[in-house]
Chains A and B, each alone.
Chain A
Amino acid sequence: MNAVLLSGLLGVVMMFASFLFRTKAPVRILAILGMAVLLVANVLDTKGIHFFHVNTTGFLSFTGYALFFNTIVIACTLIFFLISSKDMQKVGNHYAEYFALIFFILTGIFLVTAFTNLLILFIGIEIISIPLYILTGSAKKDLKSNEAALKYFLMGAFSTGVMLMGIALIYGATGTFDITKMNIAGLLKSNLLTAGMLMLLFSMCFKVSIAPFHFWTPDVYDGAPNVFTSFMATIVKVGIFVGFLHLFYTAFDAIALQWKIWMAVLAALTLLVGNITAVFQQSVKRMLAYSSISQAGFMLFALVAMNETAHEGLLLYAIAYCLATIGVFGIISKMTDYSFDGFNGLAGHQPLVALCVAIFMLSLAGIPLSAGFLAKFYMLKAVIQAGGYMWLVIFGVLMAAVSAYYYFRVIQAMYFKEGPNHFSGISAFEKCVLVGICVLIVFTGLFPNIIFGWMYF
């Protein structure tokens, strides 16, 4: 509960900061300090020290898993602030409000990871979505950003409508919004329940861009300002994924026979569409948008497997995917040319930056010794343990091999081609952050048990 209330309050504080401070530096420092306080508060919550005593019975339940995941989300956002907060100034004049909206989005994520009531799920998803529509269109003078915001808003509002209809049908079938008290096993043949469950499935798939509900993703990620693409492609996506897993694990496990095969088909389709389309992209930013679709396909493996390994795997995936993608976007927002050719010869101009990009790309591709490898390994292991979906595992490995092609294209452009410098410069502090992210990625890849140790102590 600490994190939920504090992040909401910090959002309001950032709103006020917009007229209390004349310059931008104090706003940035305040935001970073606020995020650090949030991190401490959430860790204390994990340890059993609660600042607020609010009775949330029947609405929210902060399990160790949810709290640990929230810690990961806050830590990733802190890293995101450290590396990208300066670039946010380039987006527009409402600097403090961008931070406020990000704090509000975090509130939504905390609700979505800990809900036990479908109403809270809905409110959480909305608290996440509405600030995202604004952030997508925050570059007001950029036509592509406007287009992206409008598309995202229209489609997002529609999918929210589908979700509400699904919740209504489930309420009609079970008579409760509480996912722990639904007693679904007694309603195996209820058409109402199946229809509601499918509608929830579709709308959640839309929010995490699973094929065939992914069509908004490339345009929105491409049109939104770089810094906000970085945030919504990583932290928001894994946040909703944990809610997705929690929903289906707690509420619909009893009717798993009805949806599991479709989940596997969706995962395979997402991997296929994401990877094959990413191969043909000319812009690294757009390639990363498709790569985020294909990574979502891998995360969907957790919903096919539905076991303890899947839960651990999703955590690892969240860490690996968020860190690497935030790092890459931190560098992209300092480039003047986002195409693959823009990266030509980067190793000659900026050897350290190029090395970091190479490590991020290797992690995203899932090369051993990186966090990305371990994350993919856990996902595949979870599906094998669950049994019955060997074809999906083989297909996943094949698609991971395809993904290596487009990630390695960036490395090849940096190291084996010559070109003019498109990099606009980076401060020493940001270089340290980049190196820190790389160290974290390798560390997680080498010693995952330490992370799980934190989770269960």
Chain B
Amino acid sequence: MVNLAIQTNLDTSGSYLPIGLQLLFAAGMIVTLMGVTHLLGPKRRTADKLQNFASGIESHGEARQPIAIKYFLTAILFVLFDVEVIFFYPYAVNFRELGWSGFYAVLLFVAFFLCGFIYIIRRGALKWED
């Protein structure tokens, strides 16, 4: 191991040397490992093996076909509300420490959350049949 002298002044390019070395090492590691496996590993190409993996069933058709926009809408709304729900976890952990002011803050958060929810329901964003 080379002992790198770390300068006390943090704002010079020299102080980033360890990070640069680490980047080089990481890239080198990947290149070496992939190269070695490609060179040394045995290769038996059969028709079955070269097929795309589709969870064990035979693949059929193209992956890129048009899908109804409502799938995306439902998916993106799920992500949105899922992320909002995650904010309850940090509150639940600090429930006692935050006291009443924390409770009001969370009530406000829930109120905004509900506003959005009522809005998407009333605008028919989750209606599946046309």
Contacts and interface: CB of A to CB of B under 8 A. Distances in A.
Interface in A179-220: 187, 190-192
Nearest to A18: B123
A456 interface: no
18 contacts: A12-B112, A12-B115, A15-B115, A15-B119, A16-B115, A16-B118, A16-B119, A18-B119, A18-B123, A19-B119, A19-B122, A19-B123, A173-B11, A187-B11, A190-B11, A191-B11, A191-B13, A192-B11
Contacts, number: 18
A323 B48 CA distance: 69
Nearest to A19: B122
Interface in B82-130: 112, 115, 118-119, 122-123
Interface string A1-30: 000000000001001101100000000000
Say whether chain A's binding surface is mostly helix, strand, loop, or mixed: helix
A335 B127 CA distance: 39
Nearest to A100: B119
Interface of B is mostly: helix
Minimum-distance CB pairs A-B, first 7:
A19-B122, A15-B119, A190-B11, A12-B115, A192-B11, A19-B123, A173-B11
Interface of A: 12, 15-16, 18-19, 173, 187, 190-192
A19 B123 CA distance: 7
A12 B114 CA distance: 11
Given A16-B115, A18-B119, A191-B11, 15 more contacts: A12-B112, A12-B115, A15-B115, A15-B119, A16-B118, A16-B119, A18-B123, A19-B119, A19-B122, A19-B123, A173-B11, A187-B11, A190-B11, A191-B13, A192-B11
Contacts of B112: 12
Contacts of A16: 115, 118-119
Contacts of B13: 191
A192 B13 CA distance: 9
A19 B11 CA distance: 56
Nearest to A189: B11
Interface string B1-21: 000000000010100000000
A328 to B, nearest CB: 34
B78 to A, nearest CB: 19
Contacts of A187: 11
A246 B123 CA distance: 40
A192 B115 CA distance: 43
A18 B124 CA distance: 12
